[in-house]
Structure 1
Amino acid sequence: MTASYSANSLFWLLPTDAERRYAYHLSKFYEYIDILLVLANGGQVALHFGFHHLTTPVLTYVRVLKHYEGWELFATLNALHHVLMYSYFGGISAFRPILKWTGTLQLVMGILAEIRMIWVKLADGEVVWPNMIASLLLTCYMMLFVREIKMEGAEKPDGKNKEDSSGSAVPRSPSAEGLKVD
């Protein structure tokens, strides 16, 4: 049996759209568990980090598994952001400056895509509640993200990373950095 691959898909490793959507949804359960891991390691859970990680499985269930039109753009941007973010947390400090941009890009594009889907579906008389839920959650993530950036700017007016006694920048946990934008 040969697998057919969608030419427009960015998730080439799984043969069907349904399998890619299911795999993406399952991958988001790490975010839910991540809250427990951060707490177990003595970390603190910030408002954005906690709200986002508790609601992501709901977002992907409603928007990726059940009502999936247009899901790949946001998922691709989200995956790119996560690759860069976890690379940074793994020690590649060169990615630090672009994480706020990739986080913002995925949220803005996600919100715009959901608004477009709502507009098209309303004109066609289709169900819009899944897209409304997605756009509201993404907007909440964006508002909490902007709040964290403002709070971080107030704490560090020079905009520099905190340094250890050796003078080198120290990568910290996602919640400590305020970078967990998904």
Structure 2
Amino acid sequence: MTTSYSDNSLFWLLPTDADRRYAYHLSKFYEYIDILLVLANGGQVALHFGFHHLTTPVLTYVRVLKHHKGWELFATLNALHHVLMYWYFGGISAFRPILKWTGTLQLVMGTLAEIRMISVKLGDGEVVWPNMIAGLLLTCYMMLFVREIKMEEAQEEEKNHNEDSSGISEVPRSPSAERLKVD
């Protein structure tokens, strides 16, 4: 029995393009469920995290399952970013500085790929609405991601400024400790 791989495919472990697309789509449901897990553990859901994780299964359904031409570039970059991100969450702090770069790279390349696909499909008379939806969602993700990075940098700068001016560094406290009052 011979296994055929699509011409534009990276070698993945699943034998057909349809299998890889379906597995990729199913993997994004973890992102959707992740919101519930964070909230159930008392965490907070930021705007980027919430919007991105709620809409990703819709994005992959429309763009990867149903209208899949050119899907692999973004999926590969997205998978790389998530591997590094989960290693960081698993305790490998060395990946923290590069996450903003891999996150930005995947979103910029994904948006550019969608623009290119729209151009190609318009020339061929094909349907472009799935690529337009994908491009708009990726652009929203990118704007929210950059906003989040800027907010974190501003908080870090403020923290460093406060430490420099007082000469005393604050001891980090957990969110539950912030709610405690002692009279």
TM-score normalised to structure 1 length? 0.84
Taking a change above 3 Å as real, the CA distance of residues 3 and 53 of structure 1, as seen in their structure-2 partners, is same
Taking a change above 3 Å as real, the CA distance of residues 69 and 6 of structure 1, as seen in their structure-2 partners, is closer
Residue matched to 1:101: 101
Residue matched to 2:142: 142
1:41-77 deviation line (CA, Å, top 9, x unaligned): 1100000000000000000000000000110010000
Q: Secondary structure at the match of 1:69?
A: coil
Q: Which runs of 5+ in 1 are unaligned?
A: 168-182
Alignment of 1:147-166 (within 5 A): 147-157=147-157
Contact 1:11/1:20 (8 A) holds in 2 = no
Q: Secondary structure at the match of 1:156?
A: helix
The structural deviation recorded for 1:7 is 6.0
| One-letter identity of the residue aligned with 1:88 | Y
Residue matched to 1:51: 51
Distance in 1 between the 2:8 and 2:159 partners? 40
Residue matched to 1:90: 90
Query: What number of residue pairs does the alignment pair up?
Result: 164
TM-score normalised to structure 2 length? 0.84
Alignment of 1:1-182 (within 5 A): 1-6=1-6, 8-157=8-157
Distance in 2 between the 1:11 and 1:41 partners? 37
| One-letter identity of the residue aligned with 1:5 | Y
Distance in 1 between the 2:78 and 2:159 partners? 25
Which deviates further from its counterpart, 46-55 or 11-20? 11-20
Distance in 2 between the 1:29 and 1:19 partners? 16
Q: Which has the higher contact order (CA 8 A, sep 6+)?
A: 1
Distance in 1 between the 2:47 and 2:130 partners? 24
Q: Secondary structure at the match of 1:157?
A: helix
Q: Secondary structure at the match of 2:14?
A: coil
Taking a change above 3 Å as real, the CA distance of residues 164 and 85 of structure 1, as seen in their structure-2 partners, is farther
| One-letter identity of the residue aligned with 1:73 | L
Residue matched to 2:176: none
1:97-129 deviation line (CA, Å, top 9, x unaligned): 100000000000000000001111112221100
Following TM superposition, the consecutive aligned residue runs of length 4 or more in structure 1 with deviations greater than 6 angstroms are: none
| One-letter identity of the residue aligned with 1:84 | L
| One-letter identity of the residue aligned with 1:91 | G
Taking a change above 3 Å as real, the CA distance of residues 153 and 102 of structure 1, as seen in their structure-2 partners, is same
Q: Which runs of 5+ in 2 are unaligned?
A: 161-168, 173-183
Residue matched to 2:177: none
Aligned-residue Cα RMSD (Å) equals 2.0
Distance in 1 between the 2:126 and 2:52 partners? 28
